Structure 1
Amino acid sequence: MRVIFSNHSTAPVNLGGAERSLLKLVDDWTASNPDLEPFFFTKAPTGLFTKALDERSWKYRAFRFRGWALPSVQPAPVVERTTFAAADYQAVGAMITELERLKPDLVVTNTLVAPWAAFAAKTLGIPHAWFVREYGDLDHDLKFQEGRERTLADIGLLSEAVFTNSLALKRHVASQVPDDKISVVYPSVDTASIRTSAEQDPATVPFPLADPGLKITVVGRVEPGKGQFRAVDALGLLKADGVDASLCLVGSWKTPGYDLELRDRAAALGVADRVTFAGEQDNPYPYVAAADVCVTPSTIEAFGRTTLEYLAVGRPVVASSTGGSAELVEPGVTGSLFDPESPRELADALAVYAATPGLAETHGAAAAMSVERVLESGFSQEAAIARLESLVGAPAYKLPDIARYWFALPGDYASLGATTARMAAGLLASRLRTRSGMVGRILRRPGVATRRILGR
């Protein structure tokens, strides 16, 4: 059985939760079904995702494309839209050719960001499944080219099955996708590996003060949507209440200077000496193990993979009450929930652990025991694999035959010289100005480089 898996990102800085979830899905599927032959379509150029594929000796082909959910403000300049439209549809044409060569039984798209493999599969009438692992706009501030409702409706039209990673996300998607198409699958994590990794020493000191008080860790890309500012604000409130606490933030940041904004925010609250920026870590779990309590302060999480990993390490979790994390934490048993609009609620939840000796340990023990129960629920990886295998040979939607001609047109037009030197120069200037271009990539590098470029 040959299955094509399409991923939206090269993972240039780190493997995100979507990539890690896809890799674990295929790891588990190949382990349960030796007849599975995976092949990957991924974004060019190569990155950490293709490195992970190489480590597993899995075959892949990289294509140049963007997506229909983008970080840039719409409408983009016409030169950018037309140039990337040509690249996107050339990718669809190349994928169609590759699918005809490989003759897969099923095509699977990972994340809602890029639809190109779905278009290729439906041009040929191949069964297709879609893993929606994010809200897109609500959690990552992406802009849908055709709007949220139309995008979700198209995902349902182009798929025989749609998978979400939480009940909360299922409810969101079900506004546009038929309910009988949607299944929930919680991402699987290797708890044994996580716990072994947590026993190692952290690469840097997470809590450098001699008396750090309550030790709090937050793991995740440092950006506004992940809510680290809420943890900083709660730290300030705790200090005002006379509660000693320290915060360790683990993860890279992509917005230029955002780390400096957080440092300034902490300084204004008088807690700058109690906030540690550990940066991106190959092994973040020792920082989790070093904490008394961990926090998921995101505005909204589709699932909350870090929440599950905190629990696996045996640490209580204080998580925002929106999104998937609220399904993982049992208030009063493995942690607590707070309204992300209320820093006071977060501070009060943390203060309970500071004021109650032994509570963090009790909740942490319950947290570790809860992970297997979560993973063995009806939303297991095994159930998802069974649903995927049921699609093989099943009836599949097919686009009209004219679709193949339409997908070829932008590339044909570009090949005739429609993309002039002046257009190419305009595109280059546009890309350099945006955070997705070269300058943006340089600015996203944490630490010294960010300070030097910003002149700070």
Structure 2
Amino acid sequence: MRNRPIICFISHQSRMNGAEKSLLTLMQGINESGRLQAVLLAPEKGPLVVHARSMGIKTYIVPYVFWTGKRGRWVVKRLVRLVVNLVTLPAVLLTLKRIDPDLVYTNSLVVPSGALAARILKIPHIWHAREFVEEDFDGLYDWGASMSMSIIERFSKAVICNSSAVRQKLYRLRKWRTPLSVTYNGFDVAHYNRVDATLKYKKSVTLSEFPVLLMVGSVMPQKGHEQAVLALKMLIQRGLKVTLKIAGNSLAGYPEYLESILSEYDGMGRHVLNFEGVVEDIDRLYQQAAITLVCSKCEAFGRVAVESLLNGTPVIGTNNGGIPEVIQDDFTGLLYEPGNYTGLADKIELLLNRPKVYERILNAGQADIFNRFGKENYIKEISGHIGACLYNTRPSHHGRCRR
């Protein structure tokens, strides 16, 4: 084996969502370590490719597709995806032969091409589970969940989950012969500074005519925007002046539906509901907000919660999926039961009207996030798994969930 093994990372898309941000952090850290060399294989051009190349990461593009799809015309579309993946597999094989990696690392459960090609070429493979698929994206596996889990296990030397919630879901789908490990996503915490919670409350709540509630991420039903808008409506009815800003790609027609819920408040204009679209400088929005809402029905990890606290803004999230692993209720954040928008409104009102509670939760949340989610542990743990697969050893943290 070469002195600096090459790791080929397979991305399922070229946007810059949470999985891609975490992948960039990992690849950059691996390259900076000097022990491994990261290269990227992506299905299309896009922001991920641009960022990777700006970091000096070699990038290759082959148009493979998902092996999951949404409900609806799933039966027809899954046949199309099967054909496309089979047709593009030779190109993936040729590209991997050209790269000549020592290990292939697939960054999502939703694409099989990297694992299939690695199996054919007899290259070690790692699969990183960063989503539930069904619960968070209303998706179904083209080959069925049971067969897909069998392929994932048989074609991988290790499977890494980004939360205990994802690991538990995979355990429910299959009796795995080897333990699944959990490694939380890592962040460049040195890039951020802790804020003074008292000054934050004064600036974002006391001195703000319309304190900002913020949601970040894809705008679609699974992310719980309807619950946030219903809570906003209830707060307005209670006499609170607040505005909800929503940043991210929108599902066609969905913003109009959300606006219709607040149609009776059209006279308040921009002070009620704002769609910001895709925002490049997302840190700025976090810093301007009074509270960040994570209302997903079932979030695999909760990257938005971490980003918000790094920027000094407290979080209210759903008590489901990976969110409770990121924030602890009434200590580092507030949790509410999914679907209970009245409970969400109550939590928002509590933080806005109780400065001591706001400051206590923000201080504890910042301390916890800066302590637990640094990129160093993230890169170290995954590098350990890669090394174990390359040299047939066992990482000391295998199967362990950090808390």
Shared fold per TM-score greater than 0.5: yes
Matched residues in 2 for 1:155 and 1:350: separation? 41
Matched residues in 2 for 1:275 and 1:289: separation? 18
Secondary structure of residue in 2 paired with 1:288: helix
Matched residues in 2 for 1:184 and 1:381: separation? 13
Cα distance change on mapping 1:102 and 1:294 into 2, 3 Å:
closer
Matched residues in 2 for 1:99 and 1:357: separation? 56
Give the CA deviation at 1:143: 2.5
- Show the 5 A alignment for 1:137-216: 137-175=134-172, 176=174, 178=176, 180-194=178-192, 211-212=209-210, 214-216=211-213
2:297 pairs with 1:299:
yes
- Given candidates 96, 99, 117, the residue that maps to 1:99 is 96
Give the CA deviation at 1:139: 0.5
- Given candidates 351, 365, 371, the residue that maps to 1:373 is 371
- Show the 5 A alignment for 1:126-145: 126-145=123-142
2:223 pairs with 1:226:
yes
Q: Which runs of 5 or more structure 2 residues have no equivalent in the other structure? A: 195-203, 394-403
Kindly indicate whether the alpha-carbon contact (under 8 Å) linking 1:215 and 1:245 is maintained by their aligned counterparts in 2. Answer: yes
Residue equivalent to 1:259? 255
Matched residues in 2 for 1:166 and 1:116: separation? 24
1:92-124, Cα deviation, whole Å (9 max, x unpaired): 222223333433211100101110110011112
Give the CA deviation at 1:374: 2.0
Secondary structure of residue in 2 paired with 1:289: helix
Matched residues in 2 for 1:84 and 1:297: separation? 31
Q: Which runs of 5 or more structure 1 residues have no equivalent in the other structure? A: 197-205, 396-456
State the AA in 2 paired with 1:193.
H
Residue equivalent to 1:384? 382
Residue equivalent to 2:38? 38
- Show the 5 A alignment for 1:47-446: 47-71=46-70, 73-77=72-76, 84-175=81-172, 176=174, 178=176, 180-194=178-192, 211-212=209-210, 214-253=211-250, 255-268=251-264, 273-375=271-373, 380-394=378-392
Matched residues in 2 for 1:299 and 1:332: separation? 20
Secondary structure of residue in 2 paired with 1:392: helix
Residue equivalent to 1:23? 24
Matched residues in 2 for 1:68 and 1:268: separation? 43
Matched residues in 1 for 2:104 and 2:75: separation? 30
Give the CA deviation at 1:131: 0.7
Secondary structure of residue in 1 paired with 2:126: strand
State the AA in 1 paired with 2:359.
E
Matched residues in 2 for 1:343 and 1:269: separation? 18
Matched residues in 1 for 2:140 and 2:292: separation? 31
Kindly indicate whether the alpha-carbon contact (under 8 Å) linking 1:220 and 1:252 is maintained by their aligned counterparts in 2. Answer: yes
Kindly indicate whether the alpha-carbon contact (under 8 Å) linking 1:73 and 1:143 is maintained by their aligned counterparts in 2. Answer: no
RMSD: 2.6
Kindly indicate whether the alpha-carbon contact (under 8 Å) linking 1:315 and 1:363 is maintained by their aligned counterparts in 2. Answer: no
Matched residues in 2 for 1:102 and 1:211: separation? 56
Matched residues in 2 for 1:224 and 1:75: separation? 18
Cα distance change on mapping 1:85 and 1:247 into 2, 3 Å:
closer
Give the CA deviation at 1:82: 6.0
Give the CA deviation at 1:328: 0.9
Cα distance change on mapping 1:275 and 1:351 into 2, 3 Å:
same
Kindly indicate whether the alpha-carbon contact (under 8 Å) linking 1:311 and 1:370 is maintained by their aligned counterparts in 2. Answer: no
Of residues 274-283 and 172-181 in structure 1, the stretch that sits farther from structure 2 once superposed is 172-181
Same amino acid, percent of matched pairs: 26
Give the CA deviation at 1:290: 1.4
Larger Rg: 1
Give the CA deviation at 1:150: 2.4
Kindly indicate whether the alpha-carbon contact (under 8 Å) linking 2:20 and 2:48 is maintained by their aligned counterparts in 1. Answer: yes
Kindly indicate whether the alpha-carbon contact (under 8 Å) linking 1:168 and 1:323 is maintained by their aligned counterparts in 2. Answer: yes
Give the CA deviation at 1:315: 1.7
Kindly indicate whether the alpha-carbon contact (under 8 Å) linking 2:351 and 2:357 is maintained by their aligned counterparts in 1. Answer: yes
**Matched residues, number:** 376
